[in-house]
Amino acid sequence: MNSNPLDGTSVKKYGLALHTASRELGLAISNFAGDSRCKTWNLDRDLATHLHQYLVEFIEPQTWADLAFIAVAKGPGGFTGTRMGMVTARTLAQQLDIPVFAISTLAAVAWAAHPQPPQASEGLLSIALQMPAQRGQLFGAVYSVNKDSGLTELFTDTVMTPESWQEKLESWENSYQLIEVGSELGWSVSSVLELAYLEWKQGNRPDWSGALPYYGQHPVKGH
């Protein structure tokens, strides 16, 4: 028999993920038993106008009552988009009384990379990610990937100068794969959902109130 991993005493069967931290809107839904779909839209500044409409249309034929949890990209990324996705996820989760998993934008890209070399399975290959930030700085992070247990955070998402990041990489003892993260990231929403599901399987049920965005920098330019 093919049982649904999200089944149990609850009738809620699906996980839903939102990615609004870049110019792309990414939505993904899955019951992790063969029924899943993912879609992206390049909305840029129209995200605020269309997010809820696209979300309502995307979730069909499922209903809100079918959701067991929500996952959301918490940043780093665009301030307005990140905030909008987080508020939407928190509001839905509060109304539905379900958990929210806030997943790092950089962690989702690292998970999508799925390194193939033999050393990856031994945990020796690190994935370093760098992403442009405001005022000439950048975000940097380093993760290792285990396809069974998820990501291990080796160097947490941090905003710094390019020089400091270069020094960090030069002093890194293990081999690493460097990924330059772009400005269109909606495609990685499926990774946001997969990482949340790994946490779900481990028994984590984070309350919506603990889901917070990671901006890294103040959105207002200044000195």
In a domain, 119, yes or no: yes
Q: Do residues 38 and 56 share a domain?
A: yes
Q: What is the CATH number of the domain that holds 170?
A: 3.30.420.200
* pLDDT number for residue 1: 37
Q: What is the pLDDT of residues 101-116, one digit of tens each?
A: 999 999 999 999 865 5
Q: What is the C-alpha separation between 164 and 170, in angstroms, rounded?
A: 10
* pLDDT number for residue 141: 96
* pLDDT number for residue 9: 43
Q: Do residues 130 and 116 share a domain?
A: yes
In a domain, 9, yes or no: no
**pLDDT mean values, one per 10 residues, the chain (223 residues):** 48 88 95 94 86 95 96 94 95 97 96 64 74 93 84 93 95 90 93 95 94 78 42
Q: What is the CATH number of the domain that holds 94?
A: 3.30.420.40
Q: What domain range includes position 123?
A: 106-180
Q: What is the pLDDT of residues 158-186, one digit of tens each?
A: 999 999 999 999 999 888 999 999 889 99
Please choose, from the candidates 99, 112, 96, 91, the residue with its C-alpha nearest in 3D space to the C-alpha of residue 192: 112
Q: Do residues 56 and 96 share a domain?
A: yes
User: End-to-end CA distance of the chain, in Å?
Assistant: 62
Q: What is the C-alpha separation between 57 and 72, in angstroms, rounded?
A: 18
Q: Do residues 125 and 164 share a domain?
A: yes
Q: Please give the tally of structural domains in the chain.
A: 2
Q: Do residues 117 and 170 share a domain?
A: yes
* pLDDT number for residue 7: 53
Structure tokens at 3: 């049982």
Q: Do residues 96 and 198 share a domain?
A: yes
In a domain, 6, yes or no: no
Could you say which DSSP state residue 72 is in? E
Q: What is the C-alpha separation between 48 and 85, in angstroms, rounded?
A: 10
Which amino acid belongs to residue 30?
A: S
